[in-house]
Chains A and B, each alone.
Chain A
């Protein structure tokens, strides 16, 4: 399994600087990586390559969790401190300010901005009965954030299974397949049909009766996949803000930008002929009902004909999914190359990342950082059908 990354790389979190200049010249890395680039394999002390089983990324960093041998983490990107011993780590969670590590017997949160000798927060845990252990940011009895007091309680009745923390909101999946949301609601990201914020977890009623198998959250949007074992399954639901097309629904902002670009290219000057402005306005009015800027209830998104969605992940303003056919689709804000389509354009329609198809690779996992995307892929001949 090989990991690839594309998008924001100003801190070398995807691929390291080509050469370190002593005067600290602003930066010689490629800030925007527009095509999937393989993450260089990390090598440990004894020369064995580090198999990455999980990746997570914040705005300026990426954390790779090692899947074999001495389980530990590798941090790439903006310099950071933790003198944390990560040996024996079962799970990791990174935010812009903190790194949380889970071990068999404890969970620790370290401040990435200070050279603290001790974690900012920690708790002891009893060895987990399930083999999977802790699923950060969920912790026994609650969850962990990156702001004091770090630990928040969650009712045991919820039977929390996985938690996605977005820009200002949270999306929780329960064992029963229900989705609960709370936090800021100003852009419809809670999915309750309005713009109100919620202090406590509230079930997304529109999805009741359809068990979900995974949830994801971005800056101002949320997504979930319906469980393939219980329903027609593998469907993707999205809700929240669509200003960059991150919901895969028609976005007025993107439409306007593309109109502006095409009139610039054809050499028209908008102020010269009154009619061209007129024409633009009429075109926009025609599409008027179609544009969606906020989707306050979950909407089913057709990513690709007769494909089941297996994984979903959200960046700040973009979304990525992996289908059962091993394809990676991305859409939303693309100005840092985070869509992987070899351009810096944003898109309000899901598009396949052709790189993997061209390389005859099957994508099996995807994780979005704030402005970048990481995908795990295997060669098609290695795949079991």
Chain B
């Protein structure tokens, strides 16, 4: 059986001369010099992995500082590319001699950091390498995932309290409408609706039903961003990076007995883990938009019961598909924005100050007369949230949703 290093070598350029290191002037020559040291060490047999790792770390440290300067939007893509190269060189240093599982996991994490914070380099080589690493890990540890089955079953039998939905406020439901019907009755007039039956064909709902065990097996060792804290408007809210296994242990199964909320929210998980992408499909109705279908942003939302997304609005249409578990959702029209008291600050002006399920009517009197629609979203349901429609979401139990932002 081929060694790990030979598999990784096979996907790298054949020689130093074939290995590209092109950057704009934004990246100073001194930094490019360190990258050249890394490249040379990659192809020379003589270097100690310690030395190679050291130089890779220099690249990671200097680009990390650039990535954290100013807002994410303004970070020059060139520095994100440098960061990805740093990850590549670090992974190479980690995988040289037959590494043990601990090292393999570190290498996977390094690839993930490059995929999350870097920019694609060399035909998305980090994605190629992480796949090699994952199969290497699977080969060495199949048994570990069996133990958790009992625990998951325990969590699932607790039945959630389902809020009563008043008929006059209920979001309308329609089964498999034609494109024309959807467009005329809901898209053009910007009316929310729950589409039933349109994702029944998703492998995530039949062939490969998504479950905690399935997610562990496909992406357990992968590092993802997790939101910690009850809601993003709270002072103690923060984001952290965890593996899917760690997230499940700590926030879904709550093994450490803590009671802080954790939510794998608004993350393009399907770009990071292509195997999961094959379990879902782009809703046909997205073709009614003006933009290209490959510009649709697909996000994963995975968390325990009780996660809350405060009342807010987004600048695009949304199809929120429910795959596992259930969610309570309330919707307000943009016409009633004044009754929803949005925050004044630039950062939060798309978020309401009101706590939807326990509103302070003294501070926010008009909220009491703001009309709304509400629903409980069940597996198989897809909620259409028109652009800029205010929405509040609370998971009622372990939940996995997929959102599609389109225009």
Contact = CB atoms under 8 A, between A and B. Distances in A.
A220 B69 CA distance: 8
B30 A167 contact: no
Contact of A113 (B29, B41, B61, B258): B29
Interface in A265-282: 271, 274, 277-278, 280-281
A338 B250 CA distance: 36
Interface stretch (B47-55, B122-130, B156-164): B47-55
Contacts of A186: 70-71
B364 interface: no
Nearest to B37: A26
A242 interface: no
B249 to A, nearest CB: 8
A25 B69 CA distance: 33
A10 interface: yes
Given A60-B28, A271-B249, A280-B256, 8 more contacts: A26-B40, A26-B51, A59-B30, A78-B30, A167-B69, A168-B69, A186-B71, A277-B250
Nearest to B33: A78
A97 B255 contact: no
A41 interface: no
B256 A278 contact: yes
A11 B30 contact: yes
Interface of A: 10-11, 24-27, 31, 59-61, 78, 96-97, 113, 167-168, 184, 186, 219-220, 271, 274, 277-278, 280-281, 316, 335, 371
* A-B pairs, 3 with minimum CB distance: A60-B30, A277-B256, A26-B37
Contact of A31 (B28, B54, B68, B250): B54
A10 B250 CA distance: 40
A281 B249 CA distance: 14
A27 B256 contact: no
Nearest to A219: B65
Contact of A274 (B51, B62, B70, B255): B255
Contact of B41 (A26, A59, A96, A335): A26
A271 B102 CA distance: 13
10 contacts: A26-B40, A26-B55, A27-B37, A113-B29, A168-B70, A186-B70, A274-B256, A278-B256, A278-B258, A371-B61
Contact of A96 (B30, B37, B255): B30
A184 B69 contact: yes
Contacts of A274: 255-257
A113 B28 contact: yes
Interface in B52-105: 54-55, 58, 61-62, 65, 68-71
Contacts of B257: 274, 278, 281
Nearest to A8: B58
A106 to B, nearest CB: 26
B30 A281 contact: no
A220 B64 CA distance: 13
Contacts of A280: 256
A115 to B, nearest CB: 12
Contacts of B65: 167, 219, 316
Contacts of B28: 60, 96-97, 113
A14 to B, nearest CB: 15
Nearest to B256: A277
Given A59-B30, A168-B69, A281-B258, A31 B58 contact: yes
A292 to B, nearest CB: 13
Q: Main secondary structure on chain A at its contact with chain B? A: loop
Nearest to B69: A168
Contacts of A167: 65, 69
A5 to B, nearest CB: 17
Interface string B1-45: 000000000000000000000000100111001100100110000
Contact of A10 (B29, B40, B58): B58
A81 B70 CA distance: 30
B221 to A, nearest CB: 13
Nearest to B238: A293
A59 B32 CA distance: 13
A82 to B, nearest CB: 14
B197 to A, nearest CB: 42
A61 B249 CA distance: 47
Contacts of A184: 69-70
Contacts of A27: 37
A26 B71 contact: no
- Output the residue of A26, A60, A167, A280 with the most chain B CB within 10 A: A26
A119 B398 CA distance: 64
Contact of A281 (B51, B54, B68, B256): B256
A313 B153 CA distance: 57
Contacts of B25: 113
A26 B41 CA distance: 7
B261 to A, nearest CB: 14
A316 B66 CA distance: 11
Interface string B236-254: 0000000000000110000
Contacts of B258: 278, 281
Contacts of A281: 256-258
Nearest to B236: A288
A309 B350 CA distance: 46
Contacts of B51: 26
Contacts of A168: 69-70
Contacts of B37: 26-27
B304 to A, nearest CB: 16
B48 to A, nearest CB: 10
A11 B41 CA distance: 17
A260 B69 CA distance: 28
A157 to B, nearest CB: 29
A278 B259 CA distance: 11
Interface string B121-156: 000000000000000000000000000000000000
Given A31-B54, A278-B256, A281-B258, A10 B69 contact: no
A187 B47 CA distance: 39
A335 B51 CA distance: 15
Contacts of A25: 40
Nearest to B347: A195
Nearest to A187: B68
A220 B256 CA distance: 34
- Output the residue of B29, B37, B71 with the most chain A CB within 10 A: B29
Contacts of B34: 10
Contact of A277 (B69, B70, B255): B255
A278 B254 CA distance: 10
B58 to A, nearest CB: 6
A113 B23 CA distance: 14
Contacts of A219: 65, 69
Contacts of B55: 10, 26
B266 to A, nearest CB: 20
B143 to A, nearest CB: 14
A380 B59 CA distance: 40
